[in-house]
Structures are given as structure tokens and as C-alpha cells.
């Protein structure tokens, strides 16, 4: 591990130890923050109970659906927009300010569209994630070196060959960055929706625990979510670093 890595680890462990001590010796109100060890206990309790396990499972399913849909639709839309230069230019300012809009205000509309089931939430996650995928796909396609395109023409590659041997490898790192954002945004979209408006899932379970003063369960769920998202991010980060190293960026 690098020196920075060790310092980081020491910082995190130190901060946790300080928090644990501060809570145990009563420097911080127990009503607000509980010691990290109790938070882990809460995570364990959440995993052990059937009800919360069902909530977690539901959220993971919804996030996965939102992720898969946004990756497919975002990549397809990115490929099409790359061809339609004029539309792309016109769309640019709208794409750039897209994330200033709180997407989940459209939740009631989605309920009318899809009914009272999991799809309105998935739609929110999808809307949140898909634009990041589109932007990164466009980015990746725009950065394919001209020399590659010309070489492909010289070699008379067919369309499929061009896609497989030129576009895919050259733009892969950007597709991947898009995917990484799509994971984060799918989680944010789905969980924010569950928090504010839904009656099931991890977001709802956290809000419910807060409302019923069950701090241990609340912190337990939060820690669990951070562990899940953190693990996914770490895996993606490793793969992404390898891709960038190969692309020589």
C-alpha cells in the first residue's frame, strides 16, 4: 500500500475510534449518534430480520433494473446522437443542466403511467442514471482518434468489425465511467424515491426507523447501504483503472 493509503487507513480507523470513545463516554448525545460498534450490531439485526432483508432485496432489484435499463438505453441514445450532430449540439445545453432538475418530482406522473408498483421508482433511478450514460458515451465516441477511423477505412472494415475492433476498445473507458455514474445515480434515485414517497425498500426502512426512534436499526441500515455501495464502487474502480492503464490515458 502507498504512503497515502496508510495515512488514509489510519485516519479512518482513528476517526472511528474517537467516535466510539466519544459516544461511550457521553461526549455526544446518545439520542443523536450511537457508537460505531452499535451501528454494526444494527446492521446485523437488519440482515437477520426477514422484513428488512426483504426491503434490502427489493431495493437491490430495483437498482439493478434501473441500472441495466439506463445502460442499454443510454448507450443506444449516445450512439444515435453521435450520428445526429445537429440534434446533439442542440441538446448540449439541456444535457449540461439536466442534473439541476430534481427528477423525483415526476414520481406522481410515473404512478399514473405505471401504476402503484415498483416501476415508478425504477423510472426515477433510470432518469437519474441514463443521462450520465449518454454524456459519457458521447464523450467516448468523440475521443476516438481520427487515425483509428482512417485506418479502419483503409482496411475496409465492415460495420460490425468497426464496432468490435475500433469503437468498443477505444471508447471502453468512457463507457465504464458512465456505468460507474449509473450505479451511483441508480442508487440515489431509487433510494431517494423510497425515502420520500414509497412504502417499501431500504430508503423507506431507514425513514421508518428514524420515525420510530430506532436509532440502532437506522444507523445499521445506513452502514449496510454504505458497505454495499462502497464495495460496488471499489470493484468498478479497480476495473476502470485497468482499462485506463490499457488505453494509455
Positions that interact with another protein (CB under 8 A): 2-4, 7-8, 11-12, 31-33, 86-87, 89-97, 99-102, 105-109, 112-113, 132, 135-136, 138-139, 142, 174, 177-178, 180-181, 183-184, 187-188, 191-192, 195-197, 202-203, 206-207, 209-210, 215, 218-219, 221-222, 225-226, 229-230, 233
Beta carbon of residue 87, minimum distance to another protein (angstroms, whole number): 8
Nearer to another protein, 104 or 167 (CB): 104
| Residue-by-residue DSSP string for the chain | --HHHHHHHHHHHHHHHHHHHHHHTTSS-TTT---HHHHHHHHHHHHHSHHHHHHHHHHHHHHHHHHHHHHHHHHHHHHHHHH-HHHHHHHHHHHHTGGGS-GGGGHHHHHHHH-SSSHHHHHHHHHHHHHHHHHHHHHHHHTS-HHHHHHHHHTT--HHHHIIIIIHHHHHHHHHHHHHHHHHHHHHHHHHHHHHT-SSSHHHHHHHHHHTT-HHHHHHHHHHHHHHHHHHHHHHHHHHHHHHHHHT-
CB of 221 to another protein, least distance (A): 7
Q: At its nearest, how many Å lie between another protein and the CB of residue 217?
A: 11
Closest approach, Cβ 123 to another protein, in A, equals 14
Residue with Cβ nearer another protein (106 or 157): 106
Please say which residue, 146 or 159, places its beta carbon nearer to another protein. 146
Amino acid at each position: 500500500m502507498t504512503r497515502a493509503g496508510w495515512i488514509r487507513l489510519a485516519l479512518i480507523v482513528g476517526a472511528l475510534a474517537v467516535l466510539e470513545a466519544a459516544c461511550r463516554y457521553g461526549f455526544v448525545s446518545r439520542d443523536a449518534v450511537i457508537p460505531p460498534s452499535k451501528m454494526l450490531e444494527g446492521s446485523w439485526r437488519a440482515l437477520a430480520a426477514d422484513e428488512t432483508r426483504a426491503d434490502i432485496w427489493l431495493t437491490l432489484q430495483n437498482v439493478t433494473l434501473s441500472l441495466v435499463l439506463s445502460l442499454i438505453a443510454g448507450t443506444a441514445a449516445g450512439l444515435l446522437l453521435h450520428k445526429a450532430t445537429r440534434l446533439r449540439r442542440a441538446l448540449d445545453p439541456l444535457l449540461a443542466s439536466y442534473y439541476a432538475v430534481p427528477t423525483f418530482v415526476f414520481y406522481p406522473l410515473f404512478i399514473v403511467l405505471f401504476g402503484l408498483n415498483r416501476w415508478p421508482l425504477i423510472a426515477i433511478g433510470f432518469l437519474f442514471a441514463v443521462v450520465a450514460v449518454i454524456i459519457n458515451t458521447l464523450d467516448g465516441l468523440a475521443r476516438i482518434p481520427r487515425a483509428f477511423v482512417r485506418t479502419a477505412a483503409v482496411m475496409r472494415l465492415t460495420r460490425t468489425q468497426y464496432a468490435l475492433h475500433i469503437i468498443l476498445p477505444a471508447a471502453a473507458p468512457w463507457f465504464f465511467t458512465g456505468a460507474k455514474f449509473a450505479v451511483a445515480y441508480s442508487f440515489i434515485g431509487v433510494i431517494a424515491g423510497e425515502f420520500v414517497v414509497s412504502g417499501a425498500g431500504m430508503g423507506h426502512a431507514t425513514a421508518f426507523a428514524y420515525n420510530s426512534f430506532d436509532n440502532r436499526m437506522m444507523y445499521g441500515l445506513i452502514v449496510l447501504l454504505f458497505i454495499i455501495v462502497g464495495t460496488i464502487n471499489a470493484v468498478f474502480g479497480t476495473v476502470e483503472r485497468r482499462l485506463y492503464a490499457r488505453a494509455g490515458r
